[in-house]
Chains A and B, each alone.
Chain A
Amino acid sequence: MDKKRPVNLDLGTIKLPITSYVSILHRVSGVIMFFTLAVFLWMLDTSLASEQSFNDLAAMFANPICQFIIWGSLAALAYHAVAGIRHMIMDFGVGEDSFASGRNSAWAAMIVAALVIALITWWIL
């Protein structure tokens, strides 16, 4: 491959549209979840190991540091799921007809994700 081929997409010099931010956050939240999956599996393990460990885990949810880790894990999951469902709706041919509808659904995904994360915050506190 020609190593000196021109590269026209220097992201640092481009003003990104909302769709780009939705996409970048989708990637970031996905990478975060690859690590927080360990937290969820550990919680599943602890909740199922014995009645004692189930109750210990429930007591741990009162700890602010644990709450913050769970909040971050759930927020990443909520955002990723909402942005992913946007793609799955597009798979059915809905909202992929123009740049305008893409931008609208990107804003919708941002707003729905913010609402869900607000609900998660309210639920944890």
Chain B
Amino acid sequence: MVTTVTSLGRSGLSDWMIQRVSAWVMTAYLVFIVGYFFANPNLDYAQWSELNSSLPMRMFSLITILSIAAHAWIGLWCVLTDYITVRLIGPKATAIRIFFQLGMIAASLLYVVWAIDILWGI
């Protein structure tokens, strides 16, 4: 059996589970933040920074950005392994795909670090 070394969960079932759990986390964050903007149409800096510097909101935001990174990793892995294939684009496909996969993983991790820097730098 070929092991999918660049997938996040190393198995389809695990990836599926991570994809769904992260989707629920992101849905919760989206519902919360949209509701918050609707409830506070005249939001000012003091209120916004107070919300985002509170520990519960930092935790919620951190779990959300981790979910985004995992979700993007799995989703882009699916897209890259479906379309950048030897059958579709020729013999260089594997090298090109690995390059994009590693770039995508690096970008996901950078997003997480950036978000932590923002949230804990308030």
Contact = CB atoms under 8 A, between A and B. Distances in A.
Interface string B12-23: 000000001001
Contact of A88 (B20, B68, B78, B107): B20
B27 to A, nearest CB: 7
Contacts of A87: 23
A54 B48 CA distance: 9
Interface residues of A, number: 25
A18 B23 CA distance: 23
A122 to B, nearest CB: 14
Given A41-B114, A55-B45, A81-B30, A34 B107 contact: yes
Nearest to B75: A30
Interface string B84-115: 00110000000000000000100100010011
Given A7-B87, A27-B79, A88-B20, A48 B49 contact: yes
Given A34-B72, A81-B27, A48 B122 contact: yes
Given A85-B27, A88-B23, A34 B104 contact: yes
B36 interface: no
Task: Classify the interface of chain B: helix, strand, loop or mixed.
Answer: helix
Contacts of A37: 68, 72, 111
Nearest to A48: B122
Interface residues of B, number: 28
Interface of B: 20, 23-24, 26-27, 30, 44-46, 48-49, 52, 68, 72, 75-76, 78-79, 86-87, 104, 107, 111, 114-115, 118, 121-122
Interface of A: 3, 7, 27, 30-31, 33-34, 37-38, 41, 44-45, 47-48, 50-51, 54-55, 77, 81, 84-85, 87-88, 91
15 contacts: A3-B86, A27-B78, A30-B75, A31-B79, A33-B72, A34-B107, A37-B72, A37-B111, A44-B52, A48-B118, A84-B27, A87-B23, A88-B20, A88-B23, A88-B24
